[in-house]
């Protein structure tokens, strides 16, 4: 037990700024544990998003850079192409990746960039105050869909993992969640696999994590977990969506 | 290696390689696509990297990423594409990263046209993106100069940890002239381990590097901006370049002109001299920093009666010329900005009207 | 008439109704009235003009202000400090929670439902009848409904805050009082107090005020103005 | 001494290429040179033109309104540009495709059926080289020897085209002499 709870070397001592019930902290920890276990801290470069995780570089102990809203995959491409020996990952939310940065993620995936993307999907813009995201659920109320997401007007939520999996280029694409303890191990396995594919120079790797945002959803942390389970998971099923081994 | 006949666009691509920059990301746009076409063949020959991005927006961040990783990197584009890159350029300036951007200008606004223009002068020199920052901007007037400035751009970008722009126009890109690549312009990249996110192992360090432009504390952000300003002030001290033409004569009119337009003006100066009318010219080779003192001093010449900013834009450089002349002379503007380059005859007629 | 308020006071209202100015001045008044006072800045939606602007004033009066960490004060992030839940669970004599505007700002209360569980609280809607959307009774009730739905809590009192900032006249104040009294009657929500800016106070005939008055010493001023200094003889505006 | 040569014709007639070979030859002869294309839509089908500025001193404006010489490969370009040529210049007219004359009596008008000659040589695409050689032979802006060398160099990577193009140079030179 003691070992499990020791702080990963890749994680800094700083307390996170995240709200109670937010899953970013857990996902950060999983990423840090994987980096420790793979022994790649000294050659990893993280690319932070614009979104609630904009300050995530404060919580890690390896090279990090900030990106503009949505552009992290292009930036990671720049790093990886000139320094293929580095391990490069982006960490992005749904507004960042699935809206303003849709072009960058699709093309990075389609080029088969040997980078890893952790995609945190909580169905809402967190940072800017709970506005509608491309992944917001049908009828979900947000500050810019006060009457609920009207799919007649703004379409259905985008299943980014499935969309990327439809590209013909090899990739590792998985969707997991961390809302219950039972999910955490599976999420970590997926993250580790994603980094391993990059280490092996295999393919683009992408892990979507279905997450919660109690503050902007207006739910208690416990209710938020339930909401994610009941509303999001049926629409965003968990599991490996694409592996390079199968193609 | 002696002289070779090259298009400006090709020469810029070759010059970057000669300068030791082997990383190029780009998106095609007329009239500079030849750079990408040239480098897509040439870079693999020298073990370099060529990647066509999905948009100019993405390209600007590929540049950012590569620069942050500590490698020399550059891109080329033309006016509408540069506008799209301006977001990334702002971040690159804020993060204090060295990178080189080439703008082979075409007519605007909007889609405008593909013919040569100098319509992005204000964009390049006064603030290409959001926030308080400047680029070091060099404006070549020949293919040879385009090549030399490209080679010089990399060490300058590294000296200041700031983006450097080559501001050419469609004609500079499309024209062929003999060009010679001078090996003595080749420079080694500086040590970037102090700040590059190139992996701790690369540096043999346990200290991580962080690259960002986000400063939440207003006092810290103010300090950051003062630090940037100090760099731009230092550029004003150390990097101003210009050419003075016929400035020893008793010129009645002073022309200020740069790039392709200055070539036309030079012919006008020669012809007017043959007719007995002396005209001087200051040709800024850096437009930021602008040769303010040189223009001001030349305008104060004892025989000088008028100053003209002659440009392929609607009086953009005019503002810098007026600032430099400080009211000592009337400052006039002449130019065209639809893609048609004013002819020497048109310039001559205009200058004659000022001398009368 | 004295202001009477103890326990948890949640200040809500539409954008620009003056919640934060009310919350700060109420904190100062309650402190001077002898209570232990804590204030939480729970405005996650608007990055400008928040309670945090008055943090030195409150600190000088020994009023505890719960804010996001110092280095995050200017972050454009919805930072819900875990301390807020703590101060609701263990409230001091007066615990003032300054919530963000509209239903969007009130949503965060819903995330705190567990902390509020079973507790008594005053949830007071700030009304400035000189703002759009709250210039009619129906408008005020509409906003009330939206805030209550988002917060999953019930508003149980009103604060009248009629003002046009520097251009407020005594007539505006009198009309404002009438308006919130009418609203109070129609909604059955108690009118806890109305506000008057300290500069305007000498011109106000207190006989015409049929409810307690909170003097507002403006704190949330643009950079070219100085915040007003609360006076020592401050005593609830009587 | 500066001379400017305007090459004009349909897109696809090899206008830019013959201009480039001339520019290259001028450089080899130790002269200053600028090759200035008109680029844009007219490159694809319509009238294409390209100017080569050759000088023994630094070239000022590469933008030329009145060229010294003109090589006109089709009728629209002759109509459009012939009036602009400076007095005493050379106007080469591709007489295979152009039935009209330049209408100038103050220039040296050289009429050569360059397409016919090229067809006779086995490939109409060498017409631009025939025209270039005829023009250089008449105007003397660069040495014939240098021109031959530069044509050879231009086709160095497509070696089987060298004999055809060298023959084009010979025939062009001959045509100018007549």
Whether the Cβ atoms of residue A202 and residue A131 lie closer than 8 Å to each other: no
Task: Please return the burial class of D108, using the count of CB atoms within 10 Å of its CB with bins 0-12, 13-18 and 19+.
Answer: middle
Question: Which residue intervals of chain B bear CATH 3.40.50.920?
Answer: 242-355
Query: Positive or negative, the Cα torsion across B257, B261, B267, B271?
Result: negative
Q: Say yes or no for a CB contact (<8 Å) between C113 and A19.
A: no
What was the pLDDT predicted at C235? 45
User: A246 vs B198, which has greater pLDDT?
Assistant: B198
Which CATH superfamily hosts domain B4-238? Thiamin diphosphate (ThDP)-binding fold, Pyr/PP domains (3.40.50.970)
Mutation site, A43, A53, A82, interface B, largest B CB count within 10 A: A82
Count how many domains chain D has: 1
pLDDT > 90: percent of chain A = 91
Strands C213-216 and D47-55: unpaired
Interface of A with B (CB under 8 A): 41-45, 47, 54-55, 57, 60-68, 71-72, 74-83, 85-86, 103-104, 106-107
Do D and C touch (≥3 CB pairs < 8 Å)? no
Hey, how many other C-beta atoms are within 10 angstroms of the C-beta on D12?
Answer: 11
Average pLDDT over residues B282-295: 98
Residue C109 maps to a domain: yes
- Residue C12 DSSP one-character state: E
Q: Which domain holds residue C120?
A: 7-216
What lies within 8 Å, CB to CB, of B334 at 6+ separation is B308, B309, B310, B342, B346, B347, B350
What was the pLDDT predicted at C236? 41
* From A17, A129, A214, residue closest to C72, measured CB to CB: A17
Whether the Cβ atoms of residue B327 and residue B355 lie closer than 8 Å to each other: no
Tokens matching residue D52: 């080569």
Average pLDDT over residues B184-193: 94
CA distance D115 to D98: 11
First to last CA, chain D: 27
What are the angstrom distances between the C-alpha of B82 and each of A102, B147, B154?
21, 20, 19
Hey, how many other C-beta atoms are within 10 angstroms of the C-beta on C226?
Answer: 8
Query: Positive or negative, the Cα torsion across A119, A124, A130, A134?
Result: positive
Which of chain B's residues have a Cβ under 8 Å away from the Cβ of D35? 5, 175-177
CA distance B292 to B297: 9
What lies within 8 Å, CB to CB, of B49 at 6+ separation is A81, A82, B22, B23, B24, B43
Phi, psi angle pair for D52, to nearest 5°: -115, 125
- DSSP structure string for A80-124: HHH-TTSEEEEEEEHHIIIIITHHHHHHHHHHT-S-EEEEEE-SS
What was the pLDDT predicted at A238? 98
CA distance D170 to D162: 12
Nearest chain C alpha carbon to A130? C104
Nearest chain B alpha carbon to D22? B5
CA distance A24 to A119: 11
* From A45, A63, A78, residue closest to B61, measured CB to CB: A78
Tokens matching residue A12: 């800094």
Q: Is the pLDDT of residue C99 over 50?
A: yes
3-state secondary structure of D29: coil
- Give D133 to chain B, closest Cα distance, Å: 20
For residue range A16-70, list pLDDT tens digits in order. Answer: 999 989 999 999 999 999 999 999 999 999 999 999 999 999 999 999 999 999 9
pLDDT > 70: percent of chain B = 100
Q: Tokens 């011109």 — which residue?
A: C203
What are the angstrom distances between the C-alpha of C154 and each of A223, C9, C189?
20, 12, 11
For residue range B41-88, list pLDDT tens digits in order. Answer: 999 999 999 999 999 999 999 999 999 999 999 999 999 999 999 999
What was the pLDDT predicted at D39? 63
Count how many domains chain C has: 1
- Average pLDDT along chain B: 96
Closest C-alpha to B194, from B61, B74, B68, B92: B68
Instruction: Please give the helix or strand (H or E) that residue C123 lies within, else none.
Output: strand C122-127
C-alpha dihedral, B225 to B227 to B232 to B236, nearest 10°: 140
For residue range B218-276, list pLDDT tens digits in order. Answer: 999 999 999 999 999 999 999 999 999 999 999 999 999 999 999 999 999 999 999 99
Cβ contacts of D149-158, under 8 Å, gap ≥ 24: D149/D25, D149/D28, D150/D21, D150/D24, D150/D25, D150/D28, D151/D21, D153/D24, D154/D17, D154/D20, D154/D21, D154/D24
Do A and D touch (≥3 CB pairs < 8 Å)? no
- Residue A7 DSSP one-character state: P
Whether the Cβ atoms of residue B347 and residue B323 lie closer than 8 Å to each other: no
- Give C212 to chain B, closest Cα distance, Å: 40
Domain CATH code at residue D75: 3.40.920.10
- DSSP structure string for B70-86: T---EEEE-HHHHHHHH
Hey, how many other C-beta atoms are within 10 angstroms of the C-beta on C144?
Answer: 23
What are the angstrom distances between the C-alpha of B15 and each of B46, B180, B182, B188, B284?
13, 10, 9, 14, 21
Tokens matching residue A23: 């899953």
Nearest chain B alpha carbon to D25? B5
Report the CATH fold assignment for A2-242. Rossmann fold (3.40.50)
Instruction: Please give the helix or strand (H or E) that residue D23 lies within, else none.
Output: helix D15-28
pLDDT band at C1 (very low <50, low <70, confident <90, very high): confident
What was the pLDDT predicted at D41? 47
Whether the Cβ atoms of residue B263 and residue B307 lie closer than 8 Å to each other: no
Averaged pLDDT in 10-residue chunks for chain D of 178 residues: 94 92 97 86 64 96 93 95 96 97 96 97 96 98 97 95 97 92
Q: Is the pLDDT of residue C123 over 50?
A: yes
Strands D47-55 and D32-37: antiparallel
What was the pLDDT predicted at D43? 45
CA distance B256 to B273: 17
Closest C-alpha to A211, from A27, A23, A52, A46: A23
Right CATH number for B242-355 from 3.40.50.920, 3.30.830.10, 3.20.20.80, 3.30.450.70? 3.40.50.920
CA distance B18 to B187: 9
Q: Tell me the β-bridge partners of B276.
A: none
Q: Which domain holds residue D171?
A: 2-177
Phi, psi angle pair for C208, to nearest 5°: -80, -5
In a 13 Å sphere around the CA of C199, the CA atoms on its Cβ side amount to 9
What was the pLDDT predicted at A5? 66
Hey, how many other C-beta atoms are within 10 angstroms of the C-beta on B233?
Answer: 11
Whether the Cβ atoms of residue A114 and residue A201 lie closer than 8 Å to each other: yes
- DSSP structure string for A61-77: SSEEEE--TT-HHHHHH
* From A54, A62, A106, residue closest to B200, measured CB to CB: A62
CA distance D165 to B319: 54
Hey, how many other C-beta atoms are within 10 angstroms of the C-beta on A169?
Answer: 15
Domain boundary assignment for chain A: 2-242
């Amino acid at each position: 037990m003691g070992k499990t709870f020791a702080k990963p070397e890749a994680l800094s001592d700083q307390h996170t700024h995240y709200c109670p019930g937010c899953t970013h902290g857990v996902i950060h920890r999983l990423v840090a544990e994987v980096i420790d276990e793979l022994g790649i801290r000294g050659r990893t470069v993280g690319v932070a998003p614009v979104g609630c995780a904009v300050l995530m570089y404060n919580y890690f102990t390896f090279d990090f850079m900030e990106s503009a809203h949505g552009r992290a995959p292009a930036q990671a491409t720049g790093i990886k192409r000139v320094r293929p020996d580095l391990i490069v990952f982006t960490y992005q939310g749904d507004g960042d990746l699935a809206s303003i940065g849709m072009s960058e993620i699709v093309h990075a995936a389609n080029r088969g960039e040997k980078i890893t993307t952790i995609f945190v999907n909580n169905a809402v813009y967190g940072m800017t105050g709970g506005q509608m995201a491309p992944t917001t659920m049908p009828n979900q109320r947000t500050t810019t869909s006060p009457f609920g997401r009207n799919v007649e007007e703004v379409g259905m939520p985008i299943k980014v993992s499935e969309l990327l999996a439809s590209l013909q280029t090899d990739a590792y694409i998985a969707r997991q969640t961390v809302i219950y303890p039972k999910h955490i191990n599976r999420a970590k396995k997926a993250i580790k696999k994603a980094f391993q594919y990059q280490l092996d120079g295999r393919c683009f790797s992408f892990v979507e994590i279905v997450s919660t945002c109690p503050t902007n959803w207006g739910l208690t942390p416990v209710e938020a977990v339930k909401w994610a389970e009941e509303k999001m998971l049926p629409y965003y099923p968990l599991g490996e969506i694409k592996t390079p081994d199968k193609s | 290696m002696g002289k070779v006949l090259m298009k400006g666009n090709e020469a810029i691509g070759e010059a970057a390689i000669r300068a030791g920059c082997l990383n190029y990301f780009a998106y095609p746009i007329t009239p500079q696509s030849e750079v990408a076409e040239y480098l897509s063949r040439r870079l693999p020959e020298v073990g370099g990297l060529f990647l066509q991005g999905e948009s100019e927006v993405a390209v600007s961040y590929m540049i950012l990423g590569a620069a942050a990783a500590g490698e020399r990197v550059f891109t080329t584009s033309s006016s509408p594409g540069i506008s799209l890159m301006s977001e990334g350029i702002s971040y690159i300036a804020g993060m204090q990263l060295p990178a080189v951007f080439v703008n082979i200008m075409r007519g605007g606004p909007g889609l405008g046209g593909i013919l040569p223009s100098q319509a992005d002068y204000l964009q390049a020199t006064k603030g290409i993106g959001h926030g308080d920052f400047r680029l070091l901007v060099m404006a070549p007037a020949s293919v040879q100069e385009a090549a030399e400035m490209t080679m010089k751009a990399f060490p300058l970008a590294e000296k200041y940890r700031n983006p450097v722009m080559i501001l050419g126009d469609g004609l500079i890109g499309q024209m062929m002239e003999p060009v010679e690549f001078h090996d003595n312009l080749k420079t080694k990249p500086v040590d970037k381990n102090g700040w590059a996110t190139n992996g701790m192992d690369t540096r043999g360090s346990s200290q991580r590097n962080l690259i960002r432009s986000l400063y939440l504390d207003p006092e810290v952000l103010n300090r950051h901006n003062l630090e940037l300003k100090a760099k731009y002030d230092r550029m004003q001290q150390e990097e101003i370049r210009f050419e003075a033409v016929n400035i020893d004569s008793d010129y009645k009119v002073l022309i200020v002109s740069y790039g392709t337009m200055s070539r036309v003006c030079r012919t006008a100066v020669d012809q007017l001299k043959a007719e007995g009318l002396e005209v001087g010219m200051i040709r800024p080779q850096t437009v930021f920093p602008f040769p303010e003192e040189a223009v001001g001093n030349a305008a104060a010449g004892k025989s000088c009666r008028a100053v003209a900013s002659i440009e392929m834009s609607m009086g953009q450089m005019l503002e810098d010329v007026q600032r430099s002349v400080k009211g000592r002379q009337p400052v006039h503007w002449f130019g065209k900005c639809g893609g048609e380059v004013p002819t020497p005859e048109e310039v001559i007629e205009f200058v004659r009207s000022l001398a009368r | 008439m004295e202001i009477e308020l103890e326990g948890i006071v949640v200040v809500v209202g539409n954008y620009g109704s003056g919640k934060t100015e009310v919350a700060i001045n109420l904190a100062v008044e309650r402190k001077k009235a002898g209570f232990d006072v804590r204030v939480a800045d729970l405005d996650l939606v608007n990055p400008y003009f928040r309670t945090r602007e008055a943090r030195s004033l409150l600190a000088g009066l020994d009023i505890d202000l719960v804010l996001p960490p110092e280095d995050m004060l200017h972050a454009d992030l919805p930072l819900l400090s875990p301390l807020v839940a703590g101060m609701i669970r263990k409230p001091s004599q007066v615990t003032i929670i300054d919530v963000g505007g509209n239903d969007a700002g009130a949503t965060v209360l819903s995330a705190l439902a567990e902390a509020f569980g079973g507790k008594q609280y005053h949830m007071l809607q700030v009304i400035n009848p000189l703002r759009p959307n709250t210039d009619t009774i129906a408008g005020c009730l509409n906003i009330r409904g939206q805030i209550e739905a988002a917060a999953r809590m019930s508003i149980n009192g009103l604060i009248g805050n009629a003002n046009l900032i520097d251009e407020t006249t005594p007539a505006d104040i009198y009309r404002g009082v009438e308006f919130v009294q009418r609203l109070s009657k129609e909604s059955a929500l108690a009118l806890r107090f109305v506000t008057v800016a300290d500069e305007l106070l000498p011109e106000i005939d207190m006989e015409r005020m049929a409810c307690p008055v909170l003097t507002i010493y403006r704190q949330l001023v643009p950079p070219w103005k100085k915040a007003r200094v609360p006076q020592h003889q401050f005593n609830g505006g009587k | 001494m500066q001379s400017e040569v305007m090459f004009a014709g349909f897109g696809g007639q090899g206008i830019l290429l013959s201009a480039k070979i001339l520019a290259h030859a001028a450089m080899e002869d130790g002269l200053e040179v600028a090759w200035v294309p008109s680029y844009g839509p007219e490159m694809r089908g319509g009238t294409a033109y390209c100017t080569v500025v050759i000088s023994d001193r630094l070239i000022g404006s590469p933008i030329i309104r009145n060229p010294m010489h003109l090589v006109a490969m089709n009728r629209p370009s002759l109509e459009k540009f012939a009036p602009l040529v400076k007095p005493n210049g050379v106007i080469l007219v591709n007489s295979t495709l152009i039935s009209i004359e330049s209408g100038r009596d103050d220039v040296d008008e050289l009429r050569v059926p360059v397409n016919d000659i090229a067809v006779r040589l086995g490939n109409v695409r060498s017409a631009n080289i025939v025209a270039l050689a005829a023009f250089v032979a008449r105007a003397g802006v660069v040495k014939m020897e240098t021109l031959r060398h530069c044509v050879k160099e231009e086709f160095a990577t497509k070696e089987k085209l060298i004999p055809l193009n060298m023959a084009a140079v010979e025939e062009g030179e001959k045509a100018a002499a007549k």
